[in-house]
């Protein structure tokens, strides 16, 4: 009983969304809930949850929400964090500074940022983990929908304000455009703000990281 990597889950996709406490933690949760619900509607195994230690009731602290999607039953069910994300999303752009957002990402991982700035500009601020990053996706989600500020849905309870009515719908759509993690039609059935999602799906700018590296 000594073989290594006995418990790898090759088909498992991990989504980590970073946000700012209170102002955006609902949107971060909406992104993972909307995408995992869409995946579940396609018959896949899913999990969604918020980081338990990040304290989302403290204003503007970095907080995380997580999603897992797999074609097989999820084995690493009761964990605290996504240790090897395939997708990292930021509900606002300043999280690229001073926060190790790409920690543990898998080779080929994608970063999706709610921002008005171009990917090349943001890329300069990311100091760690870029060697495994394949794409940066930018979308001005704030121009499409506002962040809904509520503590409804905190602590594992039901979010009575609904899913995907705010900026998270746009961010989720950009993720789907860049990664194809679910069918866009599946996502549209889940999110409340379908208009924002559709526009974000058109607007999102997908940039290959290798082109940024070449540009220096």
138 binds other proteins (CB under 8 A): no
Applying CB under 8 A, among 23, 61, 76, 84 the residue interacting with other proteins is 76
Q: Which residues contact 161 (CB under 8 A, 6 or more apart)?
A: 26, 148, 150, 152, 153
**What is the smallest separation between the CB atom of 156 and other proteins, expressed in angstroms?**
3
Distance of CA 88 to CAs 64, 105, 157, 161, Å? 10, 8, 24, 25
- Binding segment for other proteins among 151-159, 165-173, 187-195, 197-205 (CB under 8 A)? 151-159
Q: Any idea which residue has 């990597």 for tokens?
A: 5
Q: Any idea which residue has 């955006």 for tokens?
A: 24
- Cα of first residue to Cα of last residue in the chain, in angstroms, is 48
Closest CB to other proteins among 37 and 140? Answer: 37
Q: Any idea which residue has 């989504």 for tokens?
A: 15
156 binds other proteins (CB under 8 A): yes
Applying CB under 8 A, among 11, 42, 58, 75 the residue interacting with other proteins is 75
Sign for the CA dihedral angle at 149, 121, 32, 195 comes to positive
Applying CB under 8 A, among 46, 88, 109, 174 the residue interacting with other proteins is 46
7 binds other proteins (CB under 8 A): yes
**What is the smallest separation between the CB atom of 6 and other proteins, expressed in angstroms?**
6
79 binds other proteins (CB under 8 A): yes
53 binds other proteins (CB under 8 A): yes
57 binds other proteins (CB under 8 A): no
How many residues sit close enough to other proteins to count as binding (CB under 8 A)? 29
**What is the smallest separation between the CB atom of 168 and other proteins, expressed in angstroms?**
16
Applying CB under 8 A, among 61, 99, 154, 206 the residue interacting with other proteins is 154
Q: Which residues contact 73 (CB under 8 A, 6 or more apart)?
A: 45
Closest CB to other proteins among 74 and 206? Answer: 74
215 binds other proteins (CB under 8 A): no
CA dihedral in degrees (174, 179, 183, 187; nearest 10)? -40
What ranges in the chain are assigned the alpha helix state H? 25-41, 119-123, 167-179, 184-190, 194-203, 209-215
> Which residue ranges make up the site for other proteins (CB under 8 A)?
1-3, 6-7, 33, 36-37, 40, 46-50, 52-53, 75-80, 152, 154-158, 160
């Amino acid at each position: 009983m000594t073989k290594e990597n006995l418990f790898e889950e090759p088909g498992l996709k991990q989504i980590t969304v970073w946000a700012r406490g209170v102002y955006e933690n609902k949107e971060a949760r909406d992104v993972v809930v909307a995408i995992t619900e869409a995946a579940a509607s396609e018959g896949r195994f899913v999990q969604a949850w918020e980081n338990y230690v990040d304290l989302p009731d403290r204003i503007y602290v970095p907080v995380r929400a997580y999603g897992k999607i797999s074609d097989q039953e999820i084995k690493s069910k009761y964990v605290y964090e996504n240790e090897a994300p395939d997708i990292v999303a930021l509900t606002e752009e300043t999280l690229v500074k001073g926060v190790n957002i790409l920690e543990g990402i898998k080779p080929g991982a994608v970063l999706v940022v709610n921002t008005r700035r171009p990917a090349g500009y943001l890329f300069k601020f990311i100091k760690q983990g870029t060697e495994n990053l394949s794409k940066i996706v930018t979308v001005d989600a704030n121009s499409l929908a506002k962040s809904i500020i509520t503590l409804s849905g905190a602590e594992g309870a039901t979010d009575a304000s609904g899913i995907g009515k705010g900026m998270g719908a746009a961010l989720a759509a950009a993720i789907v455009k860049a990664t194809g993690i679910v069918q866009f039609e599946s996502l549209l059935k889940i999110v409340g703000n379908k208009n924002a999602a559709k526009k974000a799906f058109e607007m999102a700018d997908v940039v290959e990281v290798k082109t940024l590296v070449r540009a220096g």
